Structure 1
């Protein structure tokens, strides 16, 4: 019997067909340089900080009502968490090339230039994407100095010896977060929202996914990177997926290497935290990944060894399948796919009913049928 490779034909080298989405805007307003930070609200800052330290963050500042978390790289804090009645993503902040881009965005959108909190500094403009998510674009923010980073281990690869008369003993300790990598958002108005980010922030698509058998209806997920010209940048800084509700999916943070990730995962497991899925290597983006649930049920990812693209690569196209999410690793779990019975899956079921009754969304019955095929494909 001939063996079937479930990953055959899933990689980004497949290009667009005539008339498909180009994956970039012809004349964007500005081109942001990176994701600056994410802003959350959570009801219990002490519990949030305990998990964050176990996950590998460092506390940059802490007050009664606000917690700022950083990685070892220089720059702004990765995450800002403020006291709130429930756990939610408040918004994403992107780093503009300079102050002029903030002013230009404000002028084009009719918004007012604002001053972020003193602890963050700089200038910004607050926008709202078509899904209702808050997007802050900032410049000249305070830059925290770099801290000592976790060093990757030296490997003997094949017959190439880099370590002789020495052992490998990675410490079972938190994997030190280096930086914020990306955020993934779900939208009921996926194409409209995608086009908004490409036009206003100058982002470009690295890979599109479509539901099996529905390519002619267009993509339902995109992995989107910053356009830094000939300078390579992360395969995706933002990922967007069509769904029955507008919500946070997960955020990802870079660590040194596989050993840091695996030993850090053991530390998290021993301290009672829940692994959602991992360890494995993704297809789109190629990252080695490990997903965890924070105490409020939010999904966060450790990643390492991701793809870096310049602006010459055109988008790849592939079907969205559960087996295609990873090149190797355990099968995608029901928890990661949002199928575990519980509050989150119940909320999504209710959202499906609302979306099917709402003419102002892109999520219809045909899209629901496509989505239901993904876990088994």
Structure 2
């Protein structure tokens, strides 16, 4: 007899909020950002960083002895800025203002000043700091790089719909050409305060909330957040935020053409000795096909394709958080992806747990128990 049980029953975030739960948006935000512009890092070895970046599918748009700018094939600004530093660290994210006057409005509301960006980027920025201590830039009037030749998605024969006749499928084993920056995921010890700060200052809205099993009454511990562009659909999440024992970067994601580009690009990375963290699979929240990799400095980066697009009418879904609920199909989430693989990163997270429990923040003993259940679910 065939087992009809669906292991994902109850995990899809299609349930709405209960009375009194977080609405997932601010009533009157200061501005509404248009998109994620770029991410900024510091690394001591730019040669090594550029070598991985090219294998991952970036194109170098600027290289100096002290700075590396990486772009995708879409027209626009670079996806990633890496400056030479004494150690590897995530510096912060930059968001694109919907209108140039929004930068001025945000500066006035926060008591900050508007500053010129470097000549290589053009435009202006207002620099803020979120409650978790991360630097947040809102930029406008930046220089636009022209589009590059793009990697084309393959034609598929789907069921009886024959789009490809008298032709074979032979996707080349080459880097999966990055099209654009999709999202960044941040961990914070002050989840609710930080979430509300982004909703109020940047006008972003929540697509999905996750909560720990048995702790829904305490509120969510993760949110997938999108830009509010009215009736224009945007990525299911441009920013994701999760409660944890330390304020840190978790991962960033970059769109590629399709599954074949992602899978063949993964083989290209594997053959060159780079470390796959988790993949290939399809997520639940956001629905993306994903493949996660570690760069040589230990940063987690994702290739993705076929993600959900929502307009402003979709209200937040609510679902319990579990390791098995991270994917609809694919291999189980790895210990490396979950941050529990023995090694330097796991030891650093353990030290952060001990420190967090000694301080006054949202990550307390009950939240730790919930997190441990996630890792073993």
User: Could you tell me the TM-score, scaled by structure 1's length?
Assistant: 0.99
What residue number does 1:370 align with?
Answer: 370
Q: What is the correspondence of 1:290-309 to structure 2 with a 5 Å cutoff? A: 290-309=291-310
| Residue 4 of structure 1, CA deviation | 3.2
SS of the residue 1:127 aligns to: strand
SS of the residue 1:375 aligns to: helix
| Residue 3 of structure 1, CA deviation | 4.7
Between the aligned partners of 1:179 and 1:290, the Cα distance in structure 2 is 15
Q: What is the correspondence of 1:163-242 to structure 2 with a 5 Å cutoff? A: 163-242=164-243
| CA offsets 1:282-317 (integer angstroms, 9 cap, x no match) | 000000000000001110000000000000000000
Runs of 4+ in 1 over 3 A off after TM superposition: 1-4
SS of the residue 1:331 aligns to: coil
| Residue 12 of structure 1, CA deviation | 2.4
| CA offsets 1:100-145 (integer angstroms, 9 cap, x no match) | 0000000000001011111001011000000000000000100000
Q: What is the correspondence of 1:238-257 to structure 2 with a 5 Å cutoff? A: 238-257=239-258
Q: Unaligned 5+ residue runs, structure 2?
A: none
Q: What is the correspondence of 1:341-360 to structure 2 with a 5 Å cutoff? A: 341-359=342-360
SS of the residue 1:269 aligns to: helix
What residue number does 2:114 align with?
Answer: 113
Q: What is the correspondence of 1:60-209 to structure 2 with a 5 Å cutoff? A: 60-209=61-210
Between the aligned partners of 1:327 and 1:289, the Cα distance in structure 2 is 11
What residue number does 1:6 align with?
Answer: 7
User: Could you tell me the TM-score, scaled by structure 2's length?
Assistant: 0.99
C-alpha RMSD of matched pairs (Å): 0.7
Between the aligned partners of 2:372 and 2:166, the Cα distance in structure 1 is 54
| CA offsets 1:199-234 (integer angstroms, 9 cap, x no match) | 000000000000011000000000000000000000
Aligned residues: 376
SS of the residue 1:200 aligns to: helix
What residue number does 1:17 align with?
Answer: 18
Between the aligned partners of 1:51 and 1:159, the Cα distance in structure 2 is 41
Between the aligned partners of 2:49 and 2:203, the Cα distance in structure 1 is 33
Between the aligned partners of 2:106 and 2:234, the Cα distance in structure 1 is 22
| Residue 245 of structure 1, CA deviation | 0.2
| Residue 13 of structure 1, CA deviation | 1.5
Between the aligned partners of 1:12 and 1:332, the Cα distance in structure 2 is 19
| Residue 99 of structure 1, CA deviation | 1.4
Q: Unaligned 5+ residue runs, structure 1?
A: none
Between the aligned partners of 2:376 and 2:161, the Cα distance in structure 1 is 41
